Amino acid sequence: MRWRPVVAVAVLVAGVATARFTVCDPVRVSSGSMAPTVCTGDVVAVDHLGPRRGLAVDDIVTFASPTDGSEQIKRVVAVGGQKVGIADAVLELDGHPVDEPYVDRATIDGVYFGPVVVPQGTVFVMGDNRELSVDSRAFGPLPVDAVDGRLAATFWSACPS
């Protein structure tokens, strides 16, 4: 009978530890590809509970890079069925310019891409720091099943004010 409380506490601790690593993780960002929204050194919370459900344009998601397997963080700029392109540094979605105050267009002036239609079951992801970001422009649309997290909060920002 004395072992039951010990087992109950052990199960509770294991459950909390598992939840921490499967539901929501604190993560220190090691890349500047999302600056100025998420900067190198930021500490963010990544939600792993159902990150693929209801993905929408402007969601910031995490996934393993299709090129080298490293964990990446990028913004969803288009979902399956939408047409996405860049014309002289301006993101266009379904033929309409997108207001992106977080993108420094001066650094990518003269950049053109696409347009391409995003296949169903995939998302097109890009970093906010377009000049330095390796994203769907390089590796193509990302399968929704490859998304392993969604930005939930920023605990501490290293971004310059």
* Separation between Cα atoms, residue 111 and residue 6, nearest integer Å: 62
Asked whether residue 26 is domain-assigned, the answer is yes
The pTM of this model reads 0.80
In this prediction, residues 96-110 reach a mean pLDDT of: 87
Size of the chain, expressed as the number of residues it contains: 161
Q: Which residue has the tokens 């090691």?
A: 30
* Domain assignment present for 81: yes
Longest alpha-carbon distance in the chain: 74
Exactly one of 30, 31, 33, 136 is catalytic; which is it? 33
Q: What is the pLDDT of residue 3?
A: 47
Q: Tens of pLDDT along 48-79?
A: 876 667 899 999 999 988 888 888 899 999 99
Instruction: State how many domains the chain has.
Output: 1
Closest among 114, 73, 67, 60 to 91, alpha carbons compared: 114
Catalytic position from the list 31, 74, 133, 136: 74
Question: 45 is in which domain, residue-wise?
Answer: 3-156
74 is catalytic: yes
